[in-house]
Amino acid sequence: MGWLHSSAPAFETISVDEAARLRDADAQIVDVRETVEWRRGHIPGVLHIPVHAIGRRGPDELDADRPVVLMCASGHRSTVAARILAKQGFSKVYDVHGGMIAWQRKGLPVET
């Protein structure tokens, strides 16, 4: 979908198909939803860091040299998280358009 170009740090918005491809290529998948949402179903192997904690926990728990794919319910909170990580110097940041709603509609794997 293209890189965000503005005065804000850059990240790319991608489809769930591209997110699945990046996951298979060893990208870090981060679910930024609240714990109650995450427990209802999430991508297998995903790292759970709620959006309110991404600025504090991201630098400690994520590898800034590997792609980071951010997922929420529909795409709003993951966009916020993408901006935060990009501002902190993460250079390969991806926001998943449609989030878990789109992921599940595609029939991609989910675990509880």
Q: Residue 60 maps to which CATH number?
A: 3.40.250.10
Mean pLDDT to the nearest integer, 12-24: 96
In a domain, 3, yes or no: no
Q: What angle do CA 65, 66, 67 make, to 5 degrees?
A: 125
Is residue 46 annotated as part of the catalytic site, yes or no? Answer: no
In a domain, 26, yes or no: yes
CA distance 110 to 112: 7
Mean pLDDT to the nearest integer, 81-106: 95
pLDDT of residue 10: 87
CA distance 31 to 45: 10
Whether 65 has a pLDDT exceeding 60, the answer reads: yes
Q: Identify which has the larger pLDDT, 62 or 7.
A: 62
- Of 30, 70, 72, 73, the catalytic one is 72
In a domain, 82, yes or no: yes
In a domain, 1, yes or no: no
Neighbours of 2 (CB within 10 A): 7
Sign of CA dihedral 49, 55, 58, 60: negative
Which residue segment(s) compose the domain that 72 sits in?
A: 12-105
Residue that is written with structure tokens 């290529």 in the block: 25
